[in-house]
Chains A and B, each alone.
Chain A
Amino acid sequence: MALIELDKVSKVYRMGDVEVHAMREVSLAVEERDFVAVMGSSGSGKSTLMNIIGCLDRPSSGAYRLDGAEVSRLDRRELARVRNKTLGFVFQSFNLLSRTSALENVELPLLYGGVAARERHRRALEALGRVGLAERVHHRSNEMSGGQQQRVAVARALVTRPRLILADEPTGNLDSRTTVEIMVLFQELAAAGITVLLVTHEPDVAAYASRVVVMRDGRIRTDTRQTPRQAAADLAASVRDDEPQEVSA
């Protein structure tokens, strides 16, 4: 059974008198442990797809089963619970709480999950260690570089041990070197059994995924499997050159 199953999902917004069809009967299945990149230009519907998969939005029609459970009809409170337990988010603009330490940012989902203080602390430290920020747990978000902030965001996403991590243009605000670093992280997570769904408009970034879904006008245009580019190797190469290397092929 697939982790994500979308069955003829449509999303229609009303903007004044105009109906905007952001998604038109999209059907998609994503297996567990997969690393999927969703591509498309702006307005293609990829963000809407992401929001629906991320339980931030509900489809206008169609069915969405996450881990076997129908979630398209859940109310706001239940959706919040699904987001907390099953999903992790990474955003383009990091979206950390400002002037708040890395540790507290990572503890946040556990706080809403009702995890006790000591356990929260332990798991947040563990997650920060996993993204290589063990030395910076008490740094505040505004004292860190973009790459470090995004690592904190990744730690925050995986601290609840989610089934699925959703990343919306996670490298959009990063330089090419830190982009590769973040992609290393995602490939590690996928290898460790967490499904990763990544939205991007950069083919270079999509190259690290093992499956690429391209959207246009609210529909899936292509859906291809590929041999993922090894981010760790690229990173090692760039370290060897001792110079941030262009990752474009």
Chain B
Amino acid sequence: MIPLETFRVALRALMRNKMRSFLTVLGIIIGVGAVIAMVAIGEGAKAQVEASFASMGSNLLIVMPGSSQSSGARGGFGTLPTLTWDDLRAIRREAPAVRYAAVQLRSSAQLMSDDQNWATSVNGTSPEYFAIRNWKAERGRLLLDSDVESSAKVVVLGATVVDKLYGAVDPVGQTVRIKNIPFEVIGVMEKKGQSPVGQDYDDVAFVPQTTFQTKIQGGLQKFISGTIFLGAMSTDATTRAETQVTDLLRDRHHLDSSADDDFSIRNLTEMANAQADGMRTLTTLLASIAGVSLLVGGIGIMNIMLVSVTERTREIGVRMAVGATPLNILLQFLVEALTLAVAGGLIGVALGVFTAGRLAAKFGWPTLVRPDIVVISVCFSGLVGVVFGLYPARKASQLDPIDALRYE
């Protein structure tokens, strides 16, 4: 018999009992819907984590100076300045995987406008820093190389600081006093939000690194009393950049092979990947639970197909009498189970996409419907249909035509 005809017969048999067919595939619908929704939400959360890491900076690496050691008590990283300005220049010159390098000198200071004050983190840096962190000015301008060279008393404020000091007033051109020294506000950074650990990126002020050293926090001339931010050439290049900078600094610091590094490098891309991996594990777990409900749905299909075979025993007898082979009958019921399951799968996909969308809208999560998961779950429901439809279909095909015709 022609496949199309088999399908038509199956479809008509199913449409005859619309409610029953619907209830039968409900298990599949819920299973597939759950898989789609879970994966969409999981992928959305993963994308959010990735975005929050990306907001820290693209392909970011942070080099921190080493730890101090006095009377056997070892300080943490950054307690001893080991990185020099020459190191920074060497990195810029000799590490090909590094695209940008900039210092971040950090100090907490009280800022004062005409009528308000606010303590924030004041950072001394250079223009490359903004390129590394992928951060733009919303109003005014960013620091320029000329500001650094001339030790200009200019400051770029984060959105939170502007809010605290000026409210709705445009601060560009105003004077803000840092440690009582007047600075001209030249720009406002665009809002960046929170770091992956909930720290406010916008509660910050940037001044040229040279001005920082002379006016905010005097330091050693040779050493950098802060960290170096690196931007790698690409995401793939972060590991290479890490190796190159490690080798370069060890060489410059004359560390022999047995000595520990007197600095540490944080690779943010790797941290982001680790986070994403964790998210993926969770998604897989949830999706497997949903997969179990698909199997339960399959049992529902088998149950109803068995009922259907019994109900239609006479019809099977008639079909056999007019020349249907056992294979014809087997295929007919198999196609019916398959149609049920695939239809359930498709409805489940729609339900899953809809649910994910609604949840996302309600809780402000992003969602990503993965086409491969959609295809896999529909195929899997088809497989469930075939596996669980096989037994009833076989039972139908093995009926004795005489008994089937006589069945009441």
Do A51 and B402 touch across chains, with their CB atoms under 8 A apart? yes
Instruction: Name the B residues within 8 Å of A20 (CB-CB).
Output: none
Asked whether B314 is an interface residue with its Cβ less than 8 Å from the other chain, the reply is yes
Query: 0/1 per residue, B309-324, Cβ < 8 Å to A?
Result: 0000011011111111
Do B1 and A112 touch across chains, with their CB atoms under 8 A apart? yes
Which residue of chain A has its CB nearest to the CB of B314? Answer: A95
Contact of B318 among A97, A111, A117 (CB under 8 A): A97
Asked whether A77 is an interface residue with its Cβ less than 8 Å from the other chain, the reply is yes
**B-side interface residues, number (CB < 8 Å):** 21
Asked whether B352 is an interface residue with its Cβ less than 8 Å from the other chain, the reply is no
Instruction: Name the A residues within 8 Å of B325 (CB-CB).
Output: 76-77, 80-81, 112
Asked whether B372 is an interface residue with its Cβ less than 8 Å from the other chain, the reply is no
Contact of A108 among B317, B319, B401, B405 (CB under 8 A): B319
Question: Given contacts A51-B402, A114-B1, are A83 and B322 in contact (CB under 8 A)?
Answer: yes
**A-side interface residues, number (CB < 8 Å):** 27
Q: How long is the Cα–Cα vector from A111 to B332 in the complex, in angstroms?
A: 13
Contact of A112 among B314, B323, B405 (CB under 8 A): B323
Instruction: Name the A residues within 8 Å of B5 (CB-CB).
Output: 111
Q: How long is the Cα–Cα vector from A76 to B401 in the complex, in angstroms?
A: 10
Do A80 and B16 touch across chains, with their CB atoms under 8 A apart? no
Which residue of chain A has its CB nearest to the CB of B324? Answer: A112
Question: Given contacts A76-B325, A97-B315, A112-B323, are A91 and B405 in contact (CB under 8 A)?
Answer: yes
Q: How long is the Cα–Cα vector from A111 to B315 in the complex, in angstroms?
A: 15
Instruction: Name the B residues within 8 Å of A151 (CB-CB).
Output: none
Instruction: Name the A residues within 8 Å of B324 (CB-CB).
Output: 80, 112
CB-contacts of A49-70 with B (<8 A): 51, 54, 56-57
Q: How long is the Cα–Cα vector from A76 to B327 in the complex, in angstroms?
A: 10
Do B326 and A77 touch across chains, with their CB atoms under 8 A apart? yes
Q: How long is the Cα–Cα vector from A113 to B324 in the complex, in angstroms?
A: 8
Do B323 and A80 touch across chains, with their CB atoms under 8 A apart? yes
Instruction: Name the A residues within 8 Å of B323 (CB-CB).
Output: 80-81, 83-85, 109, 112-113, 160
Query: 0/1 per residue, A93-133, Cβ < 8 Å to B?
Result: 00111110000000011011110010000000000000000
Interface centre among A83, A113, A114, A156 (most CB of B within 10 A): A83
Which residue of chain B has its CB nearest to the CB of A85? Answer: B323
Q: How long is the Cα–Cα vector from A114 to B405 in the complex, in angstroms?
A: 23
Do A156 and B402 touch across chains, with their CB atoms under 8 A apart? no
Instruction: Name the B residues within 8 Å of A51 (CB-CB).
Output: 402
Asked whether A208 is an interface residue with its Cβ less than 8 Å from the other chain, the reply is no
Q: How long is the Cα–Cα vector from A45 to B223 in the complex, in angstroms?
A: 112
Asked whether A89 is an interface residue with its Cβ less than 8 Å from the other chain, the reply is yes
Do B1 and A95 touch across chains, with their CB atoms under 8 A apart? no
- Shortest C-beta distance, B374 to chain A (Å), equals 34
- Shortest C-beta distance, A128 to chain B (Å), equals 15
Asked whether B264 is an interface residue with its Cβ less than 8 Å from the other chain, the reply is no
Which residue of chain B has its CB nearest to the CB of A98? Answer: B315
Question: Given contacts A57-B402, A91-B405, are A83 and B321 in contact (CB under 8 A)?
Answer: yes
Asked whether B328 is an interface residue with its Cβ less than 8 Å from the other chain, the reply is yes
Which residue of chain B has its CB nearest to the CB of A115? Answer: B2
Contact of A56 among B315, B319, B321 (CB under 8 A): B321
Question: Given contacts A56-B401, A95-B314, A97-B315, are A156 and B322 in contact (CB under 8 A)?
Answer: yes
Q: How long is the Cα–Cα vector from A112 to B257 in the complex, in angstroms?
A: 82
Do B1 and A99 touch across chains, with their CB atoms under 8 A apart? no
Instruction: Name the B residues within 8 Å of A54 (CB-CB).
Output: 321
| Subset of 10 A-B contacts with CB under 8 Å | A56-B405, A57-B402, A76-B325, A81-B323, A83-B321, A89-B321, A96-B318, A108-B322, A111-B2, A112-B328
In the A-B complex, list the 10 residue pairs whose CB atoms are closest, starting with the nearest: A84-B323, A109-B322, A112-B323, A80-B325, A95-B318, A77-B325, A56-B401, A112-B324, A89-B321, A83-B323
Q: A84-B323, A95-B317 are in contact. List 11 more A-B contacts (CB 8 A).
A: A80-B320, A83-B322, A84-B322, A95-B314, A95-B321, A95-B405, A97-B318, A112-B324, A114-B2, A117-B2, A156-B322
